[in-house]
Amino acid sequence: MISCAEMKVPLDRSIQQSAEDTARAIRGLLAARKILSINLISSPGSGKTTLVEKMIESFGETGRIAVVEGDIETDIDAQRIRKHGVQVCQINTRSSCHIQPAQLVRALEGMDLDAVDVLIVENVGNLVCPAEVPLGEDVRVVLLSVTEGDEKPLKYPLVFKTSDILIITKTDLLPYVAFDTEAVRRAARTVNPGIEIFEVSATRGDGLEPLLSKIEALRAEKARGKGRA
């Protein structure tokens, strides 16, 4: 198992280079190694870490997955991921509500990228700030749990507009909450007609197979040298 210490990144690194330029450099770095990069964005408690664990379990030892965990404080989620025996780096953003591209660069410097096919970045729990900052990802994924309310695509349109995939999570709780999945689908596709939508319960396994098949297809495309330039 390879692990990485908590990232502490000086602010002047961000000042020296714009977020866009740094994101572009990250994209080039990962593209050169044909690594599929996934940026997971959601509110706190939507089930990002549980979903990441299921992805690791599904792809197994041949998955060659690495994970970057973003949180304001603690390494609780990184500890969970570390138990699965994959590379994981913790970024603590302190007062910032999202991972900065320069912080991700430093995290990648501490990883063995030659042993990675899929990089999963679990961003800080927030539907606003992470949507505004690119991290050089191939795929941006927004998660929305059924416990959050079905008005979120209308209240926070940018993250849905800029995401490739929407995952409606915790669907096993649908009988107990007032959540209209069709209303969410309509609202999300109003701001982003091309967004792909999956409904899953990671704890029960419902709906995971189509989602994991999609991720596997994206990984295969990246291995063939396709994906975002």
**What distance in Å separates the CA atoms of residue 194 and residue 221, rounded to the nearest whole number?**
19
Rounded Cα–Cα distance for residues 198 and 210 (Å): 8
The dihedrals phi and psi of 213, each to the nearest 5 degrees, come to -65, -40
CB atoms within 10 A of CB 81: 26
Tokens 């910032």 belong to residue = 96
Mean pLDDT of the residues in the chain: 90
Instruction: Specify the residue for token string 């991921």.
Output: 81
0.85 exceeded by pTM: yes
For residue 228, the model assigns a pLDDT of 54
Q: What tokens appear for 223 in the block?
A: 């291995």
What pLDDT band is residue 226 in, cutting at 50, 70 and 90? low
Where along the chain do its domains lie?
Answer: 3-11+19-223
Q: Assess whether pLDDT exceeds 90 at residue 4.
A: no
Q: Which residues pair with 42 in a beta bridge?
A: 143
Report the pLDDT averaged over residues 133-139.
Answer: 96
Give the per-residue pLDDT at 10: 44
Render pLDDT for 100-120 as a digit per residue (tens, 0 to 9): 999 999 999 999 999 999 999
Helix, coil or strand: residue 103: helix
Pick the CATH number of 3-11+19-223 from 3.20.20.70, 3.40.50.300, 3.30.70.270, 3.10.50.40: 3.40.50.300
Q: Give me the residue label for tokens 């709780």.
A: 173
DSSP category for residue 206? B
Rg (CA), the chain: 17
